[in-house]
Amino acid sequence: MEVLLVLAHPNPDSFSHAIADRGRRAAESAGHTVHLLDLYALGSSAAMSAAEHAAYHTDDPIVSPMVAEHAALVKSCQAMVFVYPTWWSSHPAILKGWLERVLVPGVGFVFNSRGNVRPGLGNISKIVGVTTYGSPRTYVRLINDNGRRALMRTLRLNAASARSKWLGLYALDTTTEAVREKFLRRVEKTMRSL
């Protein structure tokens, strides 16, 4: 299986990077091909440019060569995995921007002849979200967990037949090494079984 793993954390020594590394290695050990996009290392822009906005509803909505490469990966993969920390109840801005800039009309969704939105990610059979939270689970539930909702509901609607899996590590700042290692083993198991 071709797997697109999107990583959004600026610190290469972060737990998010450890998650992505363990997940990538587990998937590859199970025979999957993993395409890792480390958005910060790649210098991906968090903001949609004026040119991208102007092109959005045209027949050619992608103006950046990097975005075109990422869109081609989205179209060729069967699984999408997102690894990021939850900040302010959502994705880091760089990941939100990536979703807006890459999953444009013709990639993330299509319009039918009447102009209605239809799923565009028919090639995606699995969506996995992996995140860490600074807050405990009860607090996260109270504030609606917007990052999870965007991936597990909105993105999944555009990949109509995809199965989804959510892995969240809550109260990261107060967890022990044993708890973190147990979480990494859950990530490994999920990635091996894609």
pTM, two decimals, is 0.95
Q: What is the pLDDT of residues 119-134, one digit of tens each?
A: 999 999 999 999 999 9
Contact 40, 71 (CB under 8 A): no
Q: What is the pLDDT of residues 7-62, one digit of tens each?
A: 999 999 999 999 999 999 999 999 999 999 999 999 999 999 999 999 999 999 99
Task: Name the one residue in this structure whose structure tokens are 């809550």.
Answer: 170
* Residue 83 backbone phi and psi in degrees, to 5: -125, 120
Class for domain 2-192, per CATH?
alpha beta
The domain locations on the chain are 2-192
In sequence order, what are the residues at sequence separation of 6 or more whose Cβ sits closer than 8 angstroms to the Cβ of residue 74? Answer: 4, 80, 102, 103, 107, 108, 121, 124
